[in-house]
Each structure stands twice: as C-alpha cells, then as structure tokens.
Amino acid sequence: MNARTALKSLDDALAELLAHAQNTLGTEQVSTFDADGRVLAQDVTSALHVPPADNSSMDGYALRCADVTQPGAQLPLTQRIAAGAVGQPLAAASVARIFTGAPIPPGADAVVMQEDCDAVGGGSAAGMGAADVAAAVITVRVNTMPRLGQWIRRAGEDVAKGAVVLSKGERLTPASLGLAASIGMDELLVARKPRVALFSTGDELVMPGDVAPQNMKPGAIYNSNRFFLRALLLRLGCVVTDFGIVPDKLDATLQALRAASQAHDLILTSGGVSVGEEDHIKPAVQALGELNLWQIAIKPGKPFAYGKIGAAHFMGLPGNPVSSFITFMALVRPFLLRLQGVNAADIDLASKTIAIPAHFTWARADKRREFLRVRRNTAGGLDLFPNQSSGVLTSVVWGDGVVDNPPGRTIAHGDVVQFMSFADLMN
C-alpha cells in the first residue's frame, strides 16, 4: 500500500466489517443461571401473566371501598391470606388480613396498609392462622378513606401472557435473567460463544515475569496489549486461545496463522500490520487466504487489517497500545457482537455518545476523526489528558471515556462535544 492510498472512514470500514459478520456461530441451550452476557438466538415469549393474579403490594387489609363511608369505620375481620395462599370471597362489610404478594380475595377492590388500621376488638390478627381468625371476633378500624384499586398489583401488569419479554439479538443482563426466570424459563437459546485466537508479533516484546525490569535489554518492551485485549475479549463472551508472542519471521507467522485458523472464528493479532520489512502479517495472510489492508481515518489507530483464512476471520490491530485499544473498541467489538447476532443498530457508536461540555481547548484540528481521552469532572464537564500520544496507555486508565471529535474540528472551552464512556464500550 503506497502513501497515496486514500484513508477509509471509520463508518465505511465498520459497515464493510459488519457485512462480513453474518451470524454463523450456531446456537446452544444454556441454563438461565449461566446466560449473563450471552446473546439471545430467539424471542422469549411469556406463557403466563406476571403477576399471575391480582395481589397485594402491602401488608394490610383487603376490603371494599364502598364499605368504608368515613375514616374510623369498623369492620369485622373474616379471614387471613398469606402469600402463596388462596383467600375466600370477601364477605360484605368485612376485611381480610392480607400480606404482600398474597392474592386479592374476590370482591375486594382495595388494600389499606396496616399502619392505617387498628385492631379494636377481640385481640390482634398478628400471628394468627386462618382457623384462628375464623374462631376469633376481631374488629378492624380503618383510619383512612381507601381509593379504588390502591395497593393492588394487577394480573399481568408486569408481563402479559403471550408478550415477547426478551427479543432475539439482545445481550442478556442480570435483570434479563431475572425476567426470564419470572416467566418460568430455566434455559435459554443463545448464540455460541465466538472462538478467538489471539497473538502478538514483535521481537521487541517481552512477557512480564520472564525478564525483570532491571534486566530488560535496550529496545525491549513488556507486552501490554496481550493483557487488555484478552480481557476485552472475555468481557464480550469470547472463548480465547492465547498463542502468545510470535517472532518477526515469516515462517513463524505462517505457522501461527495456520494453527489459529483451524478451530477459531476470529484470529486477532496486535502489531505487524504496517508495511515495514519486519511486518510479516500482510504476506502471511495473503499466502494463506485473503486480506484487505486498510488505513482508517482515525487517530489513534490508523493501521488495520481484515481478511479471512479458510473459515476464520482475521483482524490485525496496530501495535501501539492506545491505537490497539481504540481500534478494538471501534471495529473489533461491534464485529464480535454482530457475529453473535446483536442487531447493528444496538452496536452503533453513535448510540453510545452523550453531549457534554468540554472544559479544555483543542486547537490542533486533524484531518482524521479523533478519539481524545478525557475524564468527567465534578463540574459536569470533561477534562483532557495532557498527553494524547498513541503509546501512552496511562491516558486510558486515567480517563473514563473518549471524545469522538470529527475531522478538522477544534474545540474551545465550553463547546459541547460527543462523549463515549469506556464503561459502555468494554462490555
């Protein structure tokens, strides 16, 4: 690729990637207990109302509003209904002791909380069973005027029978699992987890623990990309095979790519996607499959490669750590989510942005789309990390997100900018 090759916009590159990410992973049935983060492969429809019957949202007394003509009205207690029990039709001009979650007895049209009532004759219903209540003579004074339907949860007010409660393509959350359980789903059909082969290239790379800091040779660096890329992949629900560090040699690169292509959906590499003499990813992928080597119009993160080796997708990220991190967020993350069947509209970067004022200036407009590392401050604005270099991983740890800055734009203090939170982009 020569220097005159036009840069591809991030939006165009992502559209091409998503077009390749047809969901061919297959599906599997998993326990609802174990489905957090998985992507639904079919709609989940309720076979019942939730709640299944009208029930009380308070501990108190079920009654007919018409029987309470003024505050202080006294009515006999005729039954006691606990959660899980079934009451009898409510006798005229009487009340039923009722507890949270218990079904409303036929005839009752309101619940008065126990704090607004007093037992004034024959003792108290507290601790009594249904037979005790029937044998005792207890009168309840209702100290407030009830409203029709108060403190009653209606059948189906949460979920109606036949309703789709979770949709195909949704990524399941802890709340989703609770909702699925509430309609009796002990298992869910989800997309199979993507299998990802991960390796880094570069003779300069050293693994932490292999060499002590004081013994590092000149030019050597610790392999930080391997750690955060693996963690990001795991957060996306991937099964990761770590192939380690591959030397900057064509035969070693070919061997690693052949092995990785055998049983993986995606091969993800870091480094070696430029066009220098020691960058062997391009010729190796071309020898084994097909390759599109792009230059993306973003900063940081310009070098990026996509291709296929057999049935496995291939993505090559730049070696600079912040470039690798940002490119993963912008391109690899949406690709992997789409591969699992997540709807494209739900992974669009624009849907992740919110408007926040910049509490900094940015006078150096760039022809590329920039992702500036920033942090929210207590005044409701954004502070800028002072060093925006692609090699400064500290900026990603210090920051809690990025400003998505369009090409050619400067930023003045107080300008409203588009902020994307790392919390939204790491899951």
Instruction: Return mean pLDDT, the chain.
Output: 91
Q: Does 63 have pLDDT greater than 60? A: yes
The C-alpha atoms of residue 90 and residue 29 are separated, in whole angstroms, by 46
The answer on 172 and 92 residing in a single domain is: no
Which CA distances in Å does 24 have to 74, 234, 344, 348? 68, 20, 16, 21
Question: pLDDT digit string (tens) for 91-114?
Answer: 999 999 999 999 999 999 999 999
- Given this model, what pLDDT does residue 277 score? 44
The answer on 168 and 316 residing in a single domain is: no
Residue 257 backbone phi and psi in degrees, to 5: -65, -40
The C-alpha atoms of residue 188 and residue 174 are separated, in whole angstroms, by 14
Q: What angle do CA 168, 173, 175 make, to 5 degrees?
A: 105
Residues 6+ apart with CB under 8 A from 243: 197, 198, 199, 256, 259, 260
Question: pLDDT digit string (tens) for 343-370?
Answer: 877 888 888 899 999 999 999 999 999 9
- Looking at per-residue pLDDT, the higher value among 128 and 379 belongs to 379
The answer on 368 and 339 residing in a single domain is: no
Last residue of a domain, one of 346, 367, 393: 346
Which CA distances in Å does 151 have to 104, 109, 247? 10, 10, 69
The answer on 250 and 313 residing in a single domain is: yes
DSSP 198-254: EEEE-TTEE-BTTB-GGGPPTT-EE--HHHHHHHHHHHTT-EEEEEEEEPS-HHHHH
Question: Which H/E stretch holds residue 267?
Answer: strand 266-270
Tokens of 171: 């990524």
Q: Partners of 405 in the beta sheet?
A: 370
Report the CATH number that the domain containing residue 66 is assigned in CATH.
Answer: 2.170.190.11
Rounded average pLDDT over 210-238: 93
- Given this model, what pLDDT does residue 324 score? 95
DSSP-assigned letter for residue 344:
G
The answer on 361 and 340 residing in a single domain is: no
Cα-based torsion angle of the residue sequence 331, 336, 339, 343 in order, rounded to the nearest 10 degrees: -70
The C-alpha atoms of residue 318 and residue 309 are separated, in whole angstroms, by 19
In a domain, 258, yes or no: yes
Q: 225: domain range?
A: 10-26+193-346
- Given this model, what pLDDT does residue 127 score? 54
The answer on 332 and 223 residing in a single domain is: yes
The answer on 363 and 390 residing in a single domain is: yes
The C-alpha atoms of residue 184 and residue 178 are separated, in whole angstroms, by 10
The answer on 299 and 213 residing in a single domain is: yes
In a domain, 233, yes or no: yes
Q: How confident is the model at residue 4 (pLDDT cuts 50, 70, 90)?
A: low
Supply the pTM of this predicted model.
Answer: 0.85
Of 47-51, 132-136, 219-223, where does the model show the most confidence?
47-51
Query: What residue type is assigned to position 374 of the chain?
Result: V
In a domain, 37, yes or no: yes
Provide the domain count of the chain.
4
The answer on 334 and 282 residing in a single domain is: yes
Question: What percent of the chain lies above the pLDDT cut of 90?
Answer: 79
Report the CATH number that the domain containing residue 376 is assigned in CATH.
Answer: 2.40.340.10
The C-alpha atoms of residue 148 and residue 151 are separated, in whole angstroms, by 9
Q: How confident is the model at residue 2 (pLDDT cuts 50, 70, 90)?
A: very low
Do the beta carbons of residue 155 and residue 52 sit within 8 Å? yes
Question: pLDDT digit string (tens) for 267-324?
Answer: 999 887 665 545 688 899 999 999 988 899 999 988 899 999 999 999 999 989 999 9
The C-alpha atoms of residue 330 and residue 325 are separated, in whole angstroms, by 9
Q: Does 136 have pLDDT greater than 50? A: yes
The answer on 39 and 185 residing in a single domain is: yes
Tokens of 92: 């005229």
Question: pLDDT digit string (tens) for 137-149?
Answer: 689 999 999 999 9
Of the ranges 4-13, 232-241, 269-278, 402-411, which one carries the lowest mean pLDDT score?
269-278
The C-alpha atoms of residue 240 and residue 133 are separated, in whole angstroms, by 63
Cis link prior to 283 (omega < 30° from 0)? no
The answer on 175 and 34 residing in a single domain is: yes
Q: How confident is the model at residue 135 (pLDDT cuts 50, 70, 90)?
A: very low
Last residue of a domain, one of 346, 372, 395: 346
Question: What percent of the chain lies above the pLDDT cut of 70?
Answer: 93
Residues 6+ apart with CB under 8 A from 156: 49, 50, 51
Of the ranges 222-236, 261-275, 372-386, which one carries the lowest mean pLDDT score?
261-275
